[in-house]
Amino acid sequence: MAGDSLFGVHGAALQVRSQRMGVLASNIANSSTPGFKARDIDFQAALQSLEGGSATGIGAATKYRVPTQTSMDGNTVELNAEQTAFAENAVQYQTTLSFLNGRIGQITRALKGE
Amino acid sequence: MMSTPMTIFQVAGRAMSAQLVRMNTTASNLANAGNSAGSAEAAYKTMKPVFRTSFDQASGMATVDVERVVTAGEAPTKRYDPANPMADKDGNVFDAAVDESRELVDMMETARGYQNNVEVMQTAKSLIIDTLKLGR
């Protein structure tokens, strides 16, 4: 397909990053809900299954987080870890965006024949 | 409402309103700390919200709702004070059962949780705006 070769891996990467942002936001939202189990997306597994064209790609790559320290109310959200992961994911999302922007600029220049 | 997939703004926004309910109960508890009443039934009892995860199958995201607000904590303490106009026939008054230091700790945790959700919303907003500017 033309769309696949135009943006390479970055189209799928942006989709996984966006999904991961939602999952991490859910963890932060439930930081004080008793019994809530934090989840995260395994980026590499999600990207591989998306590239392989599997329909349940991202869902299967969403795993429960193993807490470093358990809490008495059964909540496994560790706010520091979630905040770090969220910030990291935001930076990676922006990186993917700049890759896409660079590709678009390249194609536009080629089309204009400057 | 559940027919459309949940957005990240709904996740953070509903979590913010849940934390706000919690902040309101803390404010009520602290405002009524030190109140006394003429009977154990009439005395103020600590209020606490019950948080519950609301999972959205379509988007795979989860937000939080306040299921209900319950009265929790200890029973009101009986104190002998016949000079008090509220005292019953035996000369006892009942002090509100509010643990003030626990309420203050709760208030700080609530504020932190709220701030985190505001931060999530701001980051998501700026990333979405950046995505809209793609190719410009």
Per-residue pLDDT tens over the stretch B74-88: 888 888 888 888 888
* Residue A77: exposure state from Cβ atoms within 10 A (0-12, 13-18, ≥19): buried
Q: Please say if the pLDDT value at position B15 is more than 90.
A: yes
Is the ipTM here above 0.90?
A: no
3-state secondary structure of B77: strand
Q: Which two tokens stand for residue A11?
A: 């189209």
How many beta-carbon contacts under 8 Å exist across A and B?
A: 83
Average pLDDT in chain A: 87
| Interchain proximity A101–B53, CB inside 8 Å | no
B45 contact partners, CB below 8 Å, separation of at least 6: B71, B72, B73, B75, B76, B96, B97
- Minimal Cα–Cα distance from B18 to chain A, Å? 9
Q: Which residues of B touch A90 (CB under 8 A)?
A: 123, 127
Average pLDDT in chain B: 89
- Secondary structure element (H or E) that encloses residue B58, with its range: none
B112, B120, B131: residue with CB nearest A25: B120
**Dihedrals phi, psi of A14, to nearest 5 degrees:** -65, -40
Q: What pLDDT does B64 receive? A: 92
| Interchain proximity A25–B12, CB inside 8 Å | yes
CA distance A45 to B25: 44
CA distance A31 to B110: 10
Looking at residues B59-75, what average pLDDT do you find? 88
* Residue A31: exposure state from Cβ atoms within 10 A (0-12, 13-18, ≥19): buried
- Minimal Cα–Cα distance from A68 to chain B, Å? 20
CA distance A87 to A8: 25
Report the domain count for chain B.
1
Numbered residues of chain A with Cβ closer than 8 Å to any chain B Cβ: 14, 19, 21-23, 25-26, 28-36, 58-59, 62, 79, 83, 86-87, 90, 93-94, 97, 100-101, 104-105, 108
Please name which of A49, A44, A28 lies closest in space to residue B119, comparing C-alpha atoms.
A28
Q: Please say if the pLDDT value at position B46 is more than 50.
A: yes
**Residue B48 gets which letter from DSSP?**
E
Given pLDDT bands bounded at 50, 70 and 90, which one contains residue A2?
very low
CA distance B52 to A6: 44
CA distance A85 to B125: 17
Residue of A nearest to B56 (CA): A26
For B100, how many CA atoms within 13 A lie in the half-sphere containing its CB? 8
Given pLDDT bands bounded at 50, 70 and 90, which one contains residue A56?
low
Q: Residue B90 is part of which domain span? A: 8-126
Q: Please say if the pLDDT value at position B1 is more than 60.
A: no
Per-residue pLDDT tens over the stretch B50-59: 999 998 888 8
Q: B interface mutation test: which of A15, A33, A77 has the most B CBs within 10 A?
A: A33
Looking at residues A25-32, what average pLDDT do you find? 92
